[in-house]
Chain A
Amino acid sequence: MIRIKNLKKVHANGFIALDEINLHVEKDEFVYLVGPSGAGKSTLLNMLFRADIPTTGEIYINNFSLNNITIRQIPLLRRSIGVIFQDYKLLPRRTVYENVAFALRVLHVERAHIKRQVTQVLELVGLQQKMNHLPSQLSGGEQQRICIARAIVNNPPILLADEPTGSLDPDTSWEIMQLLSKINSRQTTVIVATHNKAIVDDIRKRVVGMEKGRIVRDRQLGMYDDV
């Protein structure tokens, strides 16, 4: 499903954000990406939907090489990957409903269909009451849940979650992680970058540990602090 070969990212200022990254993630897998702040988790996830471009190395998604991707193919790639952004990336002047509906509009989905799916997913993340609010009128945790709703509303085969519980209280964090786990059981590949030790140790999955731009460990049913 996802194959990364010898990936390296050197920033313009010479900083090596990723180095010698090799990673295979199969369809249906659920992977935690853990590691200290600045380890390169977000950078790695960004590479997967072409929000960032590697310096060297190869990325394949469904045997499709991102090295040869054309500008026209980028939107298609991004539609097959739902992303929960660390900074949410919501459209500030659109309502909660519009923000989520947008991911379906770009797919040319019918209006009635959009309405049904968006309402459903907003119920799932517990925001059905705030459908017509603007993001700025909601709390951080609520904004994060809009972002989650938008990422999953079109049932993408791949879901990337960058710190999806960063602004959530423990109970909601739990619910959201259960939700991601459920989505994973419906044949969706899920990669979650997180600092949430409690959840990683509780909902046991494959754990990939990163440090200073390198992968330092990779365990099935791992723990947050495995050594």
Chain B
Amino acid sequence: MFRDFLFFISEACIGMRRSGIMIFISIATIAVSLIVFGIFLLITVNMNNLADFISSKLELRVFLKHNLSTEELQILQRRIATMTDVKQVVYIDHETAWKQFQDNFKTMDLSDLLEQNPLPDSFRIYLEKNDQIPVLARYLRSFPEVEEVSYQGAIAHRIELFSKFTRVAGLTLVILLTIATLLITVNTIRLTVIARQNEITIMHLVGATHTFIQWPFIIEGLIIGISGASIAVIVIKFFYLFFSIRFQTAIPYVPLVFDSLTLNLIYGFVALMGACLGVLGAYISVSKSLKASI
């Protein structure tokens, strides 16, 4: 088996040398497709990141009635904290709130107008997901301890839509791009296979099995796929580096994904795609030729 394997590798190399320019065209085609694919993945990841970033800034503010005891407050806080999607509940007593308010509006001297702190105690609620904000707000409003609930309703709703959109559109486009890349790969590799259709038929007549004929082509596909993917990864990496620096200087408050684990995952995925597409493309094209030569 090992002996055959060496033979297949040398056959693959011979085949590639003979296909010459076609091999470079195949590699370039796969590289271009994967670059589009990879850049698209990066955009999707950043969109999702942005949506998460904005929704993490969203909060519910629950203003409480004046007459609550410390115990009642603690019970309520714990109760809210255990609700689904609630990340954190922060208690802000009315004095801290008043101080913060005064700090924020230093220029106005309100002490003349207001003798007494007008603000109530409140909870600031951070959520895991923002799509539940309106529901939760309505629910909390029904509590007897609660005076009022406020949140940035319109923004929350829009971000929810936006993040749903990027997820669905992202997935759809990734699937479509995968199919398109596969079709392109199959067709470019198919050209190198068709050029050797006669050879395949002869091998068949001399008693070669399908597997025996297929292996060199599959190894060829693997090499083409990995080469194309390597080029794509390098291009995407530089593109992202260049683009993200530009973008960050232009719009510094929008966060981009710099997490090296996520990025490496994307690059790894692109490389894996290349390898799989090469192998699958070669397999599909050579199978067609084998069927034609029985």
A residues adjacent to B (C-beta < 8 A): 49, 51, 71-72, 74-79, 83, 85, 89-93, 102-103, 105-108, 110-111, 150
CB distance from B4 to the nearest CB of A (A): 6
A79, B18: Cβ atoms under 8 Å? no
B residues adjacent to A (C-beta < 8 A): 3-4, 7, 18, 198-199, 202-210, 212, 294
A103, B206: Cβ atoms under 8 Å? yes
Closest to B206 in A: A103
* The 5 nearest A-B residue pairs measured at CB: A79-B207, A78-B207, A106-B208, A75-B209, A75-B207
Provide the bound-state CA to CA distance between A121 and B57, in Å: 82
Closest to A76 in B: B207
B3, A75: Cβ atoms under 8 Å? no
CB distance from A146 to the nearest CB of B (A): 12
Residues of B within 8 A of A91 (CB): 199, 202-203
Closest to A49 in B: B205
Provide the bound-state CA to CA distance between A163 and B18, in Å: 32
Residues of A within 8 A of B212 (CB): 75, 106
Provide the bound-state CA to CA distance between A93 and B202, in Å: 12
CB distance from B20 to the nearest CB of A (A): 12
Residues of B within 8 A of A75 (CB): 204, 207-209, 212
A106, B209: Cβ atoms under 8 Å? yes
A102, B203: Cβ atoms under 8 Å? yes
Identify which of A72, A90, A105, A108 contacts B202 (C-beta below 8 A). Answer: A90
Provide the bound-state CA to CA distance between A74 and B212, in Å: 13
Listed by A's residue number, 14 A-B pairs whose Cβ atoms lie within 8 Å are A71-B294, A72-B209, A75-B208, A78-B205, A79-B207, A89-B205, A90-B202, A91-B199, A91-B202, A93-B199, A106-B203, A108-B3, A108-B4, A110-B3
A92, B208: Cβ atoms under 8 Å? no
CB distance from B165 to the nearest CB of A (A): 49
Identify which of B198, B205, B209, B294 contacts A92 (C-beta below 8 A). Answer: B198
A102, B206: Cβ atoms under 8 Å? yes
Counting chain B CB atoms within 10 Å of each CB, which of A78, A92, A106 scores highest?
A106
B18, A93: Cβ atoms under 8 Å? yes
Residues of B within 8 A of A76 (CB): 207
A83, B3: Cβ atoms under 8 Å? no
CB distance from B215 to the nearest CB of A (A): 12
16 further A-B contacts with Cβ under 8 Å, apart from A91-B202, A106-B203, are A51-B205, A71-B210, A71-B294, A72-B209, A75-B204, A75-B207, A75-B212, A76-B207, A77-B207, A78-B205, A90-B202, A91-B203, A102-B206, A106-B206, A106-B209, A111-B3
Provide the bound-state CA to CA distance between A110 and B210, in Å: 20
Provide the bound-state CA to CA distance between A60 and B294, in Å: 19
A83, B199: Cβ atoms under 8 Å? no
Provide the bound-state CA to CA distance between A71 and B212, in Å: 14
Provide the bound-state CA to CA distance between A105 and B209, in Å: 11
Residues of A within 8 A of B4 (CB): 108
Residues of A within 8 A of B294 (CB): 71, 74
